[in-house]
Structure 1
Amino acid sequence: FLFPQAFPARKDFKFNNQDFTHLRDYCLSRGLLFEDDTFPAHVSSIGPNLLSEDKLSRLQWKRPMMIERNPHLIMDGVSRFDIIQGEIGDCWVLAALGSLTLQRQFLENVLPKDQGFKENYAGIFHFRFWHFGDWVDVVIDDQLPFLNGRYLSVQPRSRNEFWPSLLEKAYAKLRGSYQNLHWGYISDALVDLTGGVQVQFPLQKPPSDLQEILKAAAKSQCLMGCTTPGWQSIGNVELKNGLVKGHAYTVTGATEIPYKNGWEDIIRVWNPWGHGEWRGPWSDGSTFPHSECKMSYQAFAEQFFSLCICDNTPSFLDFGDQRGTKWSLAMYVNQWARGLTAGGRLTMRSYFRSLWMKRAVGIEDCHGTINHFLQFQGLRDRLPVAFFSQYKSKVLKCGLNVSARDVTNYFYLSPGTYVVVPATSEEGQEAEFLLRIFLRCQDSNDNTMLYMCGRLPSSLGWTPALRKEG
């Protein structure tokens, strides 16, 4: 199976089978304002644990027409400075949204233009998100939650501009409730807003070429975000240096400038709070708004915990490529079934243990402990015989055994045959999974092939094999 040259989304899906145009036309024909019974103006849409019972009882829902005489969806274009975080701890969503505003090609896909408060207004809006391989159109009504007269969710900087609040509501609906936006991973939001591939870089032990990756990402207009140390329970603790513990920021720029007798790498970051900035070196005399600041790469690596970069392809890894090599992509969907393929992490002895009596091949990790059994019967006619005997003790874990929704890593592979084994984080977990493989080959005549077992019997699971011929 030869890698395709482009990745088309399979098709658009209508979330909850709600068609925006049909529903709007229905409301207009009857002089109604749309009320979404699948995500109602009710505490059920907030979630049971986000607010106390007392606060839930005081919650009010208001349409923009009730708040402002002349509301707009967008005023003078879309900017990250339109966003001010509300009472919900969704900095991870807003930091990703701030990055999205910098890239029009992504933004216009998420925020359709066929809506507003003037022509054909019926209290209904829609937004698009990438959801496990498909673009999903999410319809909402424009009733927004208020607590004590203040926005519960994101607050627009301009009183009569409502795209941030409405987009956030649509994402809350996709996620199930506003409560499900309270803490999360910026990597998830970046992927949901772009359909791209994200790679996370730990800043405690960054790769040696991270500075080059950062500058390449900025040059190719990738979306970027970063987080400070400290887990979710930390809350909004602001440090003396102006940064906030356990908080997500948008990386809005990375460049190299002449400084003294050499060069200095400068990083620019934005705080979705709408205020608060770095007070260390390079911050003095900044001409940026008070929610955005610049800092040296050294300070950035010291003060932040992780960096996430997202784009349609891993273009941020293209630095040093003088040949303009193109990326190829293949995407496949399958599922884990309890007792069959949902065996858990590769370190679990139980993984595929039920297949041991079916001529399964035992694979040893680098410590020599047999901890993973993989059924290869569907691949024997596609892989060389030597693969099963010569490489059974050379499993490459690649640090992917983490409990996260989206797990990504990148590798420089020598010619050979490789097998990818999707695994659940815990034994017995059932779910569908999406596997995407991005590949860049230096040889324009490269014969890289992707072999897939197709619709395997349920007892075999699903394992693609990648053959890279040099």
Structure 2
Amino acid sequence: MMHSLKWLLHGHQDGNFRQKRAKAGLLVTSELDKALEDCKARVARIVKDCTARNVKFRDMEFDLDNDKNQCLYGLEVTDTYDISDVQRVTDIYDNPGLFDAGGPDANDIVQGGLGDCWFLSALSTMATSKGLVDKFCVAHNKTVGVYGFIFFRDMQWVPVIIDDLLCMSIPKFEELSSTEQQLYHYDKDRYNRHARKGGKTLTFAKSGTEGETWVPLIEKAYAKHHGDYASLEGGYTSDAIEDLTGGVSITVLTKDILDKDKFWREELLMANKDRLFGCYYNTLNTTRAGVESTTVQGLIGSHAYSILRAVECKGKRFVVIRNPWGQAEWTGPWSNGSKEWTQEWLEILPQLQHEFGADGQFVMEYCDFLDCWDVIDRTRLFDDSWVMSSQWLQVLSRPLKSAWSYGDVSCPHYHPFILYSRLTNVFLAT
């Protein structure tokens, strides 16, 4: 057996670190500052070069325009997406911006034609923690069309640079039937001004706030990070949050929670402070019901939802949740417009930071929350007072004449052991 040891140390050395430490966010490692500076420098070089040559940036490593199939599907076409053509952000929006004045918001995320609800649920969850999304959106220049992000992978921060080309689902004027063209009085300019403008034209994810571009661009960067868009079909919210923050995730099965009061106090109430949560339930067997699929009071099976916050009001415990689709909400007790919302309880809406509307956000009482969801994904975030140490193991197999095995070491995956510790607190990820 051969191994190499790598350790990283950060944090306050005095006993008052709890009062002094920064808010939990991106995992601080020795590579974080280097990755941030590298990302900013690469964006700056691209801006300088493109300006000198009077061209917009085109990412030759992930060119949706000229290498579309490779960027969408990789080596194998497993699905086909509704794509008309590819346009730049500045052509899609009249006045685009990465964020609006209020910054990223959980309600700004709307899923498109890609099955990446798990990733968008992670984004929605992270957007509830102010300043967290901004940290991995490192640098950009909308004039040149270049955007730089960082993701955490294999125990290190990796810069990812993309251009601003996005897939459109609305066809070109020439592709319309004569009847469809007639609706716009055969006026191509009118059609382009009304039908082919704004986020509604995008094939994949979009922002619920017109003109914001952070949602489709982060989705594109994450697709490039994984090789292609199709690689984002299906996944776990906790995995995405780990990639975006460097945190450590665990899976909590609601049926296995021993002390539900303790879980509320020590876990859910800490949502968006030093941990983030997602949830889902397993798809029901609907053979007996004679239908292809069904829902549980509006909730969709095997679909990732974001837990935005947990709030205790007037002796009741509430969990505010969001569907990344931006629609299809819970219809049970405390749903929008339900009988529970008497005048007395309407007063707590500001405390819940909730408004009625078809935006995918809804409220559940804690007891209903535990009854409906099977799985809760919890990701622990770290501040700069934590230590990460890791040990990579290379385990060689035995000679061919013996039974195939990993030799004297039993290990479920070829994987590093990562130890996070802060004084007496320890997390071990394997």
The two structures share one fold, judged by TM-score above 0.5: yes
- Conserved 8 A contact 1:132-1:434: no
For this pair of structures, how many residues does the alignment match? 342
Structure 2 equivalent of residue 186 of structure 1: 237
Q: Is the 8 A contact 2:283 2:301 kept in 1?
A: yes
Q: Give per-residue Cα distances to partners, 1:308-337, cap 9 Å, x unaligned.
A: 222324x9xxxxxxxxxx975332141444
- Give the CA RMSD over aligned residues: 3.4
1:30 aligns with 2:83: no
2:71 & 2:41 partners in 1: Cα distance? 17
- Mapped to 2, the partners of 1:115 and 1:339 lie a distance apart of 47
Structure 2: give runs of 5+ residues left out of the alignment.
Answer: 12-26, 172-200, 342-353
Q: Which residue type is aligned with residue 205 of structure 1?
A: D
Q: Report what 1:93 is aligned to.
A: 119
- Answer whether contact 2:272 2:308 (CA < 8 A) is retained: no
Aligned residue runs from structure 1 range 204-353, under 5 A: 204-208=255-259, 209-218=262-271, 220-230=273-283, 239=295, 241-258=297-314, 263-283=315-335, 284=338, 285=341, 287-290=355-358, 291-313=360-382, 328-339=386-397, 351-353=405-407
CA 156–327 in structure 1, closer or farther in 2 if over 3 Å, else same: closer
| AA partner of residue 418 (structure 2) | L
1:192 match: secondary structure: helix
C-alpha separation in 1, matches of 2:366 and 2:276? 18
| Distance in 1, Cα, partners of 2:55 & 2:412 | 47
* Alignment CA distance shift 1:36-1:255 (3 Å): same
Q: Is the 8 A contact 1:130 1:193 kept in 2?
A: yes
* Distance (whole Å) between structure 2 residues aligned to residue 80 and residue 67 of structure 1: 22
When you count helix as a share of all residues, which structure comes out higher?
A: 2
SS of match in other structure, 2:223: helix
Q: Find the aligned partners of 2:94 and 2:108 in 1 and give their Cα distance.
A: 19
Secondary structure of 2:416 counterpart: strand
- Of all paired residues, the percent bearing the same amino acid is 24
Alignment deviations for residues 114-162 of structure 1 (CA, whole Å, 9 cap, x no partner):
4243xxx211111111112222111001111123454221022233211
Greater RCO between the two (CA within 8 Å, min separation 6)? 2
Distance 2:57 2:385 in 1: 44
Given candidates 73, 94, 108, the residue that maps to 2:98 is 73
Does structure 1 conserve the Cα–Cα contact (< 8 Å) formed by 2:254 and 2:370?
A: yes
Code of the aligned partner of 1:433: P
- CA shift in 2, pair 1:207/1:61, >3 Å: farther
5 Å-filtered alignment, 1:336-415, equals: 336-339=394-397, 351-353=405-407, 373-374=408-409
Amino acid at match of 2:312: E
TM-score (norm 1): 0.65
Paired residue for 1:441? 424
Corresponding residue for residue 175 of structure 2? none
Distance 1:148 1:306, change over 3 A: same
Query: What TM-score, normalized by structure 2, do the two folds share?
Result: 0.71
Aligned equivalent of 2:148: 126
